[in-house]
Amino acid sequence: MNILITGSAGFIGSHLVERFLNEGHTVVGVDNYISGQKRNTEMFLGHPNFRFIRADVSSGIPYEGQPLDWVLHFASPASPPHYQQFPIETLMVGAQGTHHALELAHRHGARFMLASTSEVYGDPLVHPQPESYWGHVNPNGPRSCYDEAKRYAEALTMTYHRHKGVDTRIIRIFNTYGPRMRADDGRVVTNFVNQALEGKPLTVYGGQQTRSFQYVDDLVEGIVRLMGVTYHQPVNLGNPDEYTILDFARIIRDRTNPALEITFQSMPQDDPQQRRPDITVARNLLSWTPAVPLQEGLQRMVAASLHPTPPL
């Protein structure tokens, strides 16, 4: 197949490129590097089935070539420090970027996937969150540039499905970790792993809020399975095993350096108190459950930080 991935130089995008190349597909990656990393492109550039287009998908996707079978729209700043640094770009890629990606899929008759997020649930009042939960989001708070951009992207995607017949998929990605996350990602897993590898105290903001952590290979497996079935409503992909942020800091500490200190700071505004996926839909529809336990995933991530992946 011929597969185009926006955000191909991002953390998740790069794992999708790798998976699809390994399966023998042709992959077109698109990124503008505002939060993606060039080394996530460079590692694939020698591959005969990989092609890269440097472009801001909010301005258009200048693809010319063979018909596309799949368009996967993963481009967006996704961590709070990045979308706070680029709030307008984040809003643009959710609206204009999604629009261009949907139009491309429509022109090619390609299957389309939107990478949405557990952030569409905001600070949820229902726990765990099934896909039918409408969420609890501040429409104009400091996080709204990301949350509302993704909700808008879902609405646009469903509208293209309903009114233009595009064969769409929507996934809501819960916290995901693994090799190739940016060191300055700002999210709790990378923060803790980086701090632990540097022998620094682990900084906990709040601590009692909970998160579920999914290893990236599990997410990629869920994406591949969902692309293979026909289902247009959103699907949660995440690991329901729940840890408080503080528990998580303790696990990282105990596995790297039991002598590390844990320090505490106050929670940022609008930070969700708890977030945990209800994965009943993915389980029933895709026979999918996360397979990589947290301890094993963290081992792999730490190992990859010490010995980066060689080129394909």
Q: Which residues are tagged catalytic? A: 146
Instruction: Please report how close the Cβ of residue 310 comes to its own copies at its closest, in angstroms.
Output: 40
Instruction: Please report how close the Cβ of residue 261 comes to its own copies at its closest, in angstroms.
Output: 35
Instruction: Please report how close the Cβ of residue 201 comes to its own copies at its closest, in angstroms.
Output: 32
Q: How far is it, in rounded angstroms, from Cα 56 to Cα 279?
A: 33
Instruction: Please report how close the Cβ of residue 236 comes to its own copies at its closest, in angstroms.
Output: 13
Q: Would you tell me which residues interact with its own copies (CB under 8 A)?
A: 87-88, 91-92, 94-96, 99, 120, 122, 134-140, 142, 144-145, 147-149, 151-152, 154-160, 162-164, 170, 233-234
Nearer to its own copies among residue 96 and residue 257 (C-beta): 96
Nearer to its own copies among residue 125 and residue 229 (C-beta): 125
Nearer to its own copies among residue 149 and residue 301 (C-beta): 149
Nearer to its own copies among residue 141 and residue 207 (C-beta): 141
Indicate the length of the chain as a whole number: 312
C-alpha distance from residue 15 to each of 56, 65, 118, 185, 219 (Å): 20, 23, 20, 16, 10
Q: How far is it, in rounded angstroms, from Cα 154 to Cα 100?
A: 14
Instruction: Please report how close the Cβ of residue 204 comes to its own copies at its closest, in angstroms.
Output: 26
| Of residues 21, 26, 13, the one with CA closest to residue 72 | 13
Nearer to its own copies among residue 11 and residue 160 (C-beta): 160
Torsion region of 196: left, alpha or beta (phi above 0 gives left; psi -120 to 50 gives alpha)? alpha
Q: ω into residue 87 within 30 of 0, thus cis?
A: no
Helix, strand, coil in percent for the chain, rounding step 5: 40, 20, 40
Q: Are 71 and 108 in contact (CB under 8 A)?
A: yes
Q: How far is it, in rounded angstroms, from Cα 71 to Cα 1?
A: 11
